[in-house]
Every structure is written in C-alpha cells, then in structure tokens.
Structure 1
Amino acid sequence: MAKTIFYSFHYQRDVHRVQLVRNINALEAQPLLNAQEWEQVRQSGDKAIEKWIHDQMTYKKAVIVLIGKETASRPWVTYEIEKAWAAKKPLLGVRIHGLSSMGGVDSAGPDPFARTDAAGSAPIFDPTVTDWSGKIDSQATYNKLRANLEAWSSQGATKRPW
C-alpha cells in the first residue's frame, strides 16, 4: 500500500474538498499550503513552483490526482502527472466532485490523464454516491471514499520501462 503519497489537485477550486480527503488520515501526504503560503510560492515564479513540487514529491511512494470539475485544465496538475509518470511512481485518480465544498457539490470533470503520456494507463476511482433521485449524496460519497482510499492508493499504474 502506498502510505506516503503526493496529492495533485486544483487548489483554488478544490482545496476544501482536498481538506476532507486529508482528514480521512488514511495516507500521509505533503503539507497542504494555505492560500498565503501557496501565493508566496506562486509569486516566486515557475522555477520555485517546480522546486516545491520536486521537494514534496521526491520521497512519496505514489501520486494521487484528486479530480474535480476543472482539474484536467490546470497546467501544474499536468506537470505533476508527467513528472510522476517519468519517475515511474504509481499514478491514479480519485474523483472528488461529489464531496461537499462550502455546502455544495460539483459536476464531474474530464480525465486529467487524457493529455499526458499516462493516458489510458492510470486508473480513476469514483466514490460518488447518488440517492434515489440521482442527486449526489455528499455524506455517502465521503463514507465510500473513507472506506476505499487506502486500498485504492495501492492500485496506481506505473510507466513501463520499455
């Protein structure tokens, strides 16, 4: 099981959902920067962001992309996917749009692996649970994620050496 992981996600849109994932405490991940800390790194430029990603990802056993509505369009998420793939780290996605953020859920976003070399290789797990009317049940979704996250973390795909 990949107990130490790097979470890749769209900070601005999904940070509250990511905090819910971290609160499960099933896996050890990089520190979650607050908005001010992230802004300091971001304002230092692309090289500073690359260094932060490198430093945080180096000793992690796997990379989990937490997939929200806009995750696939984020350039730093793409960078993190490509970096993990090149480093042959197990890579997988977990959909988080069904978790509540500020009282609301979101719609599913596209596959963030589709535009990378990992396309078609990295599994995506979806804990989203709907009620009888088709409405997302965020509490049931959280419970399903909590029950499965640790097991899913060991099912990432790695780049083949050939």
Structure 2
Amino acid sequence: MADIVKNVFVSHHHKDDASVDGLTGMLSGKGYQLRNSSIRVKPENQKRLDQKKVSDRTIARLLRMKMRWAGKIIVVIGKDTHKRPWVNWEVKVAHQLGKPIIGVYENGLKNQVEIPENLKKYATSIVGWRSDSVIDALGGGSQFQNPDGSPSPRTDGGNVVC
C-alpha cells in the first residue's frame, strides 16, 4: 500500500523534539507519511536564538510561511507546552489562516496536563497518543480526548472544518 502523504506543521516545545519524531514514526507504521514544515532548531542555532541574534519578527515571518504551506497544524502537548509563548502564537496564527488544528498529547502522559490557551479556543481535535485517533483527526474527524484516549468534553471554541 502506498503511503498517504500529509503536509503538516508540528507546533511543539523544542524539548519535545523526540515526540515529533515518535509521532512521525507511529504514523508511518500505519501508512501515513508526515511532511513536517516546522522549525527544528539545531544546537548551534539555539545559541543564536538565545542571544536574540534573530529577531522575533523574522521568526514570525518564517513560521507563517511554513504554516501556509501545511494543510493541517498538529500541536504536540507535553507537560510544559502551555508555558511556551511561540506555541500559543502559532495556534492563533494557524486559526487566522483557517487551518485545522489537532492537539496530540505526548506519549506516556497519564494525567491531564494544561493545554495552551489558544489550543483550548481553536482546536479542531485534541487526541491521545494513538495512531487511529490521530489518523481520524488528520482525515477531518473532530474528537476530544484525555491523554489516556478516553472521551473529554469539547474545549472552548473549536475551529470549524468545512
């Protein structure tokens, strides 16, 4: 069977890079190829960012371009994701661009974690770390789950998918 290719932008806390790789690997085992346009900062570039040698305006422009290319936005939700201002900004911009926004709890989370404020407002789906749930959300299904995959009430707003 040929892979189903999805162009996505994966918003995440950079300490959760391994989860981005894990998500890609989990879905590739089910015949899905994720082409991810998000920024993955190499250690040598992190130093430049920490020293503010790259302006926030430049980063924002680059992120918008990468999100425009993607068909869907995936937000990897870890323990500290809600504290990351860029993740919250990316979700807001994705909503402004009319992109479906899918939250995916990190693998291994057992308890509820705080969800970024804009993800609560604009998510199309928030699902546990299960290939069938993520695939359903990528296909346009709308569901809201707890980290363990059990059903959860819908968040505040929700992005409408036509």
Q: TM-score, normalised by structure 1?
A: 0.68
- Aligned-partner SS, 1:18: helix
Q: Aligned partners of 1:38 and 1:151: how far apart in 2?
A: 34
TM-score by length of 2: 0.68
Match for residue 86 of structure 2?
A: 76
1:109 aligns with 2:117: no
Are 1:149 and 2:134 matched, yes or no? Answer: yes
1:8 matches 2:11: yes
Which of 32, 49, 68 does residue 59 from structure 2 map onto? Answer: 49
The aligned counterpart of 1:134 is none
* One-letter identity of the residue aligned with 1:3: K
The one-letter code matched in structure 1 to 2:115 is D
Shift of 1:150: 2.8
- Give the whole-Å Cα distance in 2 for the aligned partners of 1:97 and 1:123: 17
Q: How much does 1:117 deviate?
A: 7.9
Aligned to 2:37: 30
Gaps of 5+ in 2: 143-157
CA 149–69 in structure 1, closer or farther in 2 if over 3 Å, else same: same
* 8 Å contact from structure 2 (residues 7, 71) kept in 1: yes
**Which residue is 2:147 aligned to?**
none
The alpha-carbon deviation at position 118 of structure 1 amounts to: 5.6
% identical equivalent positions: 21
Higher RCO, 1 vs 2 (CA within 8 Å, ≥6 residues apart): 1
Q: Which residue of 2 aligns with 1:130?
A: none
User: Number of matched residues?
Assistant: 135
Structure 1 residues 2 and 81: alpha-carbon distance in aligned structure 2, compared to 1, 3 A threshold: farther
Question: Residues 23 and 29 from structure 1, CA distance in 2 versus in 1: closer, same or farther, beyond 3 angstroms?
Answer: same
**Is the 2:100–2:161 Cα contact (8 Å) retained in structure 1?**
no
Greater fraction of residues in strand:
2
Query: Counterpart of 1:122?
Result: 124
Q: RMSD across aligned C-alpha pairs, in angstroms?
A: 3.0
Q: CA separation of 1:2/1:61 partners in 2, compared to 1, >3 Å: closer, same or farther? A: farther
